[in-house]
Chain A
Amino acid sequence: MKLASSLLLACCLFAAPAFANEVSLASSRDMLLEFKLSPYTPMIDVGYTSGQGPYQRVFGGGPMLLGELEYEYQFFQKVGTLAVGFSAGYAEKFAKAFIANTDIRSADTTGLRLIPLKALITYRFDYFWVHGNVPLIPYAKFGVVGMPWFAVKGSDIETADGLRGAGFKVGIAGTIGVSFCLDVLDRRMARDFDSSTGVNHTYLFGEFTGQDLQLYEAPGSLPLNLSSAHWDFGLAFEF
């Protein structure tokens, strides 16, 4: 790990001066597109006694695979970059349903489908990348989250106690992360990519997201808690 960090630092330091005179040749940039994946475990079982949480009991507790696509429009580019954006994602988890009042699994399939939608403000501190070509760019995001959810059994939305297992949760989300600009690995390819497709920079990034979708629930209530704290990893294109 220490060796990897050293190599990355060396890469950044050596790449910076060599790349300094070439950034100005790039086309203008005002948008960013991100593709990211995340092991996503909603906090559904928080508040239940151990072993009684429905997510653990039905799905075994493992994370969902959340895929997200995010678009940002950059409206301020001076000391860092400010952008507004929108993201949409999808995650699902399936298992066999229980025979009522037993722990025996049936032939019916049950699942939880989530579609997280976010409106975001993003700040990327890319001053040292723009002016010094240091390819590490820390950033932070804040936004609101709307999350349609669907609990299904078989091919239909599940109903229980006369209630339909589907809804829409709203909350807030915050993210911190770091991008690594891949342009430093092959500057010629980066220039060609820019001239042919308009993509100024390509980034690998990792980020940590916390989202709270239980802001206004009454004390003592136990609704479906889709809040989470999870890592995302992905690829971003700035153009």
Chain B
Amino acid sequence: MRRLYLSQLLFLLPALASAQTTVTTPLAIVPTAEPAVSTYTYNSGCDTAISVEWLYTPALAIGFGNLCGNLNLWATTGECGDSPNTSIGDLTFDSASNVPGVQVQLLKSQSFTVTPSALPSFTVTALPDGGMTSANTCGAQGVTVTNKICGSIQTSLTACGFSTSTTYQHATPLVMTYDTQPPSAPVIGDASPQDSAASISFTATSDAASVTALYRVTGTTDFTGSTDPVTSTVGTVTIPNLINGTSYDVELTASDAAGNVSTPSAIKSVIPVHTVGFFGTARANGSTEQGGCSATGSLLPLAGLALALALIRKSRR
């Protein structure tokens, strides 16, 4: 089963809201496997249930007070607030919610599932006049929508039941972005020849997570070669293991975090060339350097030093 990793619920320390994997708050929603993410971007698996779990760690509950009322877990397209707002189409995770505070303290963790196609962005959209209308279709191309998975529970610094000391504590929402919109094609800046290689500089749009170079021998039809992705929006990708003197066509594609691949960039051609570095220049200009260890006679200084040390030692006796 495909699993999703939810961020912590940060109930007391807003400054720690950006923390992801370390459980530093009394109540958190955490992944069951690494890596943990606080934002989750995907473009497929609309009907694949994703498993998450909430986790309570009482050892860190300094000043947290008592857990009162029930645990709330829900999804929304807007801001989380204190509790689900069904009037704008929020989706409550009923099977996981309504766990009493006492049970939260006893159970300490419990899993629940999220089905992407059931999230509010794919079921309803709130209209300005307060009504609702049909929304996006999970699985459609060119769609980018975001849902938040929210959590809250009431706490009290005194005994539960005294309303004046009871407040809602909120989780930092998990942001789930469904994205089938590919990034724009990257732009090749320069295609520079190297020795048996080529260096391609590029600029990609900000939604690109990586850039990959595809290449072929000029005149052939298919781009048979590709490089490892470069995880940058501005940079250089190097194509290794080319043949000097042979013309290659190069194009770049960009991929976003959800795995959508852009259309290819414009094609540029490059011909790798033999280059000469420092050693080659020295040899070409008449150096007789052979590399390796210098002449055997070079050991004489070492022998001289050893003799000097021996004489010094002898003189001290």
Contacts and interface: CB of A to CB of B under 8 A. Distances in A.
Interface of A: 44, 48, 52-55, 57-59, 75-76, 82, 84, 95, 97-100, 106-108, 110-112, 119, 121, 143-145, 151-154, 158-161, 163-172, 213, 215-217, 221-224
B287 A100 contact: no
6 contacts: A54-B285, A84-B309, A108-B195, A160-B283, A167-B293, A171-B301
The A interface is mostly helix, strand or loop, or mixed, namely strand
A165 B194 contact: no
A127 B294 CA distance: 40
Contact of B278 (A106, A111, A154, A216): A111
Contact of B283 (A59, A76, A163, A168): A163
B1 interface: no
B280 A215 contact: no
A167 B287 contact: no
Contact of A151 (B193, B277, B286): B277
Given A84-B309, A223-B288, A224-B287, A110 B277 contact: yes
B228 to A, nearest CB: 15
Q: What are the nearest 7 A-B pairs in CB distance? A: A110-B277, A165-B279, A170-B298, A151-B279, A153-B277, A216-B297, A107-B192
Interface residues of B, number: 42
Contacts of A172: 301
A44 B282 contact: yes
Contact of B194 (A108, A145, A168, A224): A108
Contacts of A48: 285-286
B275 A163 contact: no
B305 interface: yes
Contact of B290 (A53, A152, A158, A163): A163
Given A76-B312, A153-B277, 15 more contacts: A52-B285, A54-B285, A57-B281, A59-B278, A98-B276, A99-B275, A100-B274, A100-B275, A107-B192, A154-B194, A158-B280, A163-B279, A163-B290, A170-B293, A216-B300
Contact of A216 (B192, B273, B298): B298
A98 B298 contact: no
Interface of B: 192-195, 197, 199, 273-302, 304-305, 308-309, 312, 316
Contacts of A57: 281, 285
Contact of B302 (A97, A170, A216): A170
- With most chain B CB atoms within 10 A of its CB, the pick from A44, A53, A100, A158 is A158
B239 to A, nearest CB: 11
Contacts of B192: 106-107
A50 B44 CA distance: 67
A106 B295 CA distance: 34
